[in-house]
Amino acid sequence: MASNVFNLLSVVAFFIAGIGLLRLINRFEPQWVSKDGTRFSARICDDDDTNERWTEVRVLIDANTLNISGRGRHSKGFRGAWKILCLAEISHEKKRHYVVTRKDDLKITAILRIPANSVCVGALDALVG
């Protein structure tokens, strides 16, 4: 009887530890950045209240333009030339958010998210208009 209770408690503790580790791992957002900070991976989402889905994209800074590309059907709507409007007023100490707009249509905006300690922050801050 005592061994059954111990087995049950150890299984429950194992699952609690596993769930805790998954939550810890999901807090970190992996990012690739080139040494000069002009090419990097980031997350982007539409700047509207209905969409909370963040999509992984690749960004290339070319002069004052952000060339966004990505794989998969979710990134299809974000591909193309964008420019940075401003730093978003989202308070988060570990992430930076930028409001970006399409180069050819200023009515289409999105939010670009990167880690706050990334190498590319300096390059993006230089583009803020």
* Residue of 58, 77, 78 whose CA lies nearest to 120: 58
pLDDT at residue number 29:
67
CB-based contact 72:58 (threshold 8 Å): no
The CATH code of domain 39-127 reads 2.30.29
Report the chain's terminal Cα–Cα distance, integer Å: 70
* Residue of 119, 97, 124 whose CA lies nearest to 109: 97
Nearest-5° Cα angle at 102, 98 to 106: 95
Domain ranges of the chain: 1-29, 39-127
Q: Which residues of the chain fall short of a pLDDT of 50?
A: none
pLDDT digits (tens, 9 = 90+) for 49-76: 676 788 899 999 998 899 999 888 888 8
- CA–CA distance, 13 with 92 (Å, rounded to integer): 32
